Amino acid sequence: MPKKLTFQRRSEDEDIKASGMYLDLDELGKKGAMSAADASIAKWYGIYKSRQPGNHMARIVIPGGVVTSEQAKNIATVAERYGQGIVNVTTRQALQFHWLKVSNLSDVLRDLDEYGNSTKHGCGDVTRNVTACPLAETCPSRRLNARKWAQKTSEVLGAARDLDDLPRKFKINYSGCSADCAQPHINCVGLSGVIHNGKPGFKVVIGGGMGWKAFVAQPLFGFIPEDSAVDVCRAVAILFREHGDRFNRAKSRLKFVVHRKGIDFCREVVLENLKAEGKSQDGFVVESVLDEGAPFDERPLLDDTPLGTDGLHTVRIIVPKGELPFGRFYELAKLAEQYGDQRLYTTNRQNLEIHGVAPHDVAELSAAINKAGYLTSGSFTLRDIVTCVGTTYCPKAVTETRVLFDKIHRLVSSDRYAGILSSGIINITGCPNSCSPYRIADIGFRGMRIREEEGSVEGYEVLLGGSQTSFGQKLGDFKLIDCEAVVSLVLDEFLRVRKDDEFLTQCVRRVGIEHFKGVVYGEV
């Protein structure tokens, strides 16, 4: 019989989703392999295929970026048992295992569940891990406690079965103030604390995103009362569910909806969605409002041991490449029990933090952390390089980002640049998906291969002068062997032309990218 003609053209992933979004991981484990369709649905369980055939990654959802020390120990144990002993911190404050085998997946999830850890909705077309600025509860410049709302949002949206099948992933984050440490401008929904008419609430932006086509988020509301935050997130999710592109997966994120339909249309739909569900819109202000809170630092994360409003300190743990052996992770969890508030906090620089450290304990804890093999200083500096896992694990990656990490880390650690360490950040990503958001860094690298006369070699597109609200400008494409020299030329020139205490990004904007291009290409 001839095949029946059909004229619907939704993407294959949509077909797979429509055929049911549940897996029996125990049965799959017995079978020992996943089909392509199984692998698509496994994302809803937080499981991705790794670059190495037969291996998988599982991502633990950590709303607000905080785990108890007990949960951390549980994670370390699971990593030891199933994941070749490795724990990774992600740029969206989650934790990941690699090297998991299909036959172990169900055991991994069960073992995690024992201490309340879950990978559910770690990946897939759902609301992903809701992140928050790391110092949420005690930051002196906070307008409200962002973490509380991040966790609440995660709980409500994660439990909403009508939001299980979005056109693509949906990312939300919360910042306590407009310093925007949680990076609201590059997420689907970004909420930043403001004070308006004496009341705390949020400024809401939507439609930001990195990926192959990057967009800066656009303002949805100038102010909403904090109680409405979860409702607004849900209303935006419904907007996305109804208007996202289910035909072309490459253009299905909310950022394309906002780009295509316009922010005003989106706002109307969001307000309608709120109305339809009987949610209050009292106190909503569309236009941007004057924040009545106290002034804040532009880059608050630079402080190594910030003092919270509770009189206690935060001690930062710089995790190179975001990867820890399980033993050290366990050790850090123990330190959090001894010196901190019995919790480990994750940051979007792939680092960890211990909060609630008494001033007199700071030195001792720092020493203990150093002894465990980690620096406690240098957060948000040139040395605090964020890199995706690259070809080490990721099937999408083009380059081995960790090689570049080592080269650049060695370079910026030299004495020559000691004076400008805190003047910028460096992000390295292995492909255009931008898991490490290279466009918002002072120096950003994106992996590529560069054609030669015969064959091709690893290289990077280098951007300079990025920020959340204004992406970096292209310096050029460079082979891996030249990247160190390029950064060195850039930093040397920065040293020469830097004015006062300006950041690298400010300097690039001031003197222009062409100037830096001239320097790098040897024309100046």
Partner 1 sequence: MARFEYSKAAPPRESSVTTGTGVTTLDLKTVARAIPCQEACPAKTNVPAYIEAIARGAHDEAYRINQQDNVFPGVLGRICTRVCEDACRHKWTNVEGPVQICHLKRYAADNIREKQSALPPWFDSSGKRVVVVGAGPAGLSAARELARMGHAVTVVERAPVAGGMLVDGIPAFRLPRDIIAAEISLIEQGGVTIETGRHVSAGDVADFCDNYDAVLIAAGTTVTNQISIPGAQGRMVSGLDFMRDYNRGELTAVNGNVVVVGGGFTAVDCSRAARRIGEPGAKVTIAYRRTEASMAADKNEFKAMAEEEIDIRTLLTPLRFETDETGAGHLVLQRNMVADGTLGAKAVIAPIEGREVRIPCDTIITAIGQKRDASLLTFGVDSEVDGRTSKPGLFVSGDFKGGSADVVSAVASGKDVARLIDEYLMGKRRLMRGVRYVDTDCDGETGRYRDHDIQWPLPMPMADVAARYRDNAEVEIGFTQLIAQNAATRCYLCHYKFEIDQDKCIHCNWCIEAAPRDCIKKAAKIFYDDDGFPVKVFEAERNQDATFIYIDNDNCIRCGKCLRVCPTEAIKMRKLETDDCVKCGE
Min dist. Cβ of residue 474 to partner 1 (A): 12
Examine residue 53 and tell whether it contacts partner 1 (CB under 8 A).
no
Are β-strands 131-132 and 172-175 bridged in parallel, bridged antiparallel, or unpaired?
Answer: parallel
Q: Is 433 a residue that touches partner 1 (CB under 8 A)?
A: yes
- The residues that bridge with 360 in the sheet, in sequence order, are none
User: Binding of partner 1 at residue 260 (CB under 8 A)?
Assistant: no
Contacts of partner 1 in 220-259 (CB under 8 A): 248-251
Query: Using an 8 Å Cβ cutoff, are 255 and 207 in contact?
Result: yes
Q: Which one of the spans 173-181, 324-332, 342-350, 478-486 is the region binding partner 1 (CB under 8 A)?
A: 478-486
Which C-beta is closer to partner 1: that of 323 or that of 461? 461
Quick check: 448 binds partner 1 (CB under 8 A)?
yes
Size of the site for partner 1 (CB under 8 A): 38
**Per rule CB under 8 A, is residue 432 in the interface with partner 1?**
yes
When the beta carbons of 346 and 399 are compared against partner 1, the nearer one is: 399
Q: Is 3 left (phi over 0), alpha (psi -120 to 50) or beta?
A: beta
Q: In terms of CB distance, is 179 or 520 closer to partner 1?
A: 520
Nearer to partner 1, 53 or 198 (CB): 53
Residue 346, beta-bridge partner list: 352
Per-residue binder mask for partner 1 (CB under 8 A), 389-428, x = binder: -------x-x------------------------------
Shortest separation between residue 2's beta carbon and partner 1, angstroms: 4
388 binds partner 1 (CB under 8 A): no
Does 208 participate in binding partner 1 (rule CB under 8 A)? no
- Looking at the Cβ atoms of 286 and 450, the one nearer to partner 1 is 450
Does 6 participate in binding partner 1 (rule CB under 8 A)?
A: yes
Measured in degrees and rounded to the nearest 5, phi and psi for residue 352 equal -120, 160
Element (H, E) at 66: strand 66-68
Q: What is the DSSP string of 288-335?
A: -----S----SSGGG-SSPBPTTS-EEEEEB-GGGEEEHHHHHHHHHH
Tokens of 119: 């990978």
Element housing 509 (H / E): helix 504-511
The size of the chain, in residues, is 524
Contacts of 475 (CB under 8 A, 6+ apart): 462, 463, 464, 486, 490, 513, 516, 517, 520
Q: How far is the CB of 51 from partner 1 (least distance, A)?
A: 12
Question: Which residue lies nearer to partner 1 by CB, 353 or 458?
Answer: 458
Under rule CB under 8 A, residue 309 binds partner 1: no
Asked whether 263 and 344 are in contact (CB, 8 A), the reply is no
Which residue, 275 or 451, has its beta carbon nearer to partner 1?
A: 451
Cβ proximity to partner 1, 51 vs 243, nearer residue = 51
- Binding partner 1 by CB under 8 A: which of 287, 415, 452, 500? 452
346: closest CA among 386, 310, 390?
386
For 400, residues 6+ apart whose C-beta sits below 8 A from its C-beta are: 390, 391, 392, 430, 458
Nearest C-alpha neighbor of 300 from the set 415, 428, 149, 193: 193
Beta bridge partner(s), residue 215? 209
Alpha-carbon radius of gyration of the chain: 23
Q: Which of 27, 287, 415, 454 binds partner 1 (CB under 8 A)?
A: 454
For residue 3, the minimal CB distance to partner 1 (Å) is 5
Shortest Cβ distance from residue 12 to partner 1 (Å)? 9
Q: For residue 27, state whether it binds partner 1 (rule: CB under 8 A).
A: no
Site residues (CB under 8 A) for partner 1? Answer: 1-3, 5-6, 9, 211-212, 248-251, 396, 398, 431-433, 447-457, 461, 476, 478-479, 482, 486, 520-523
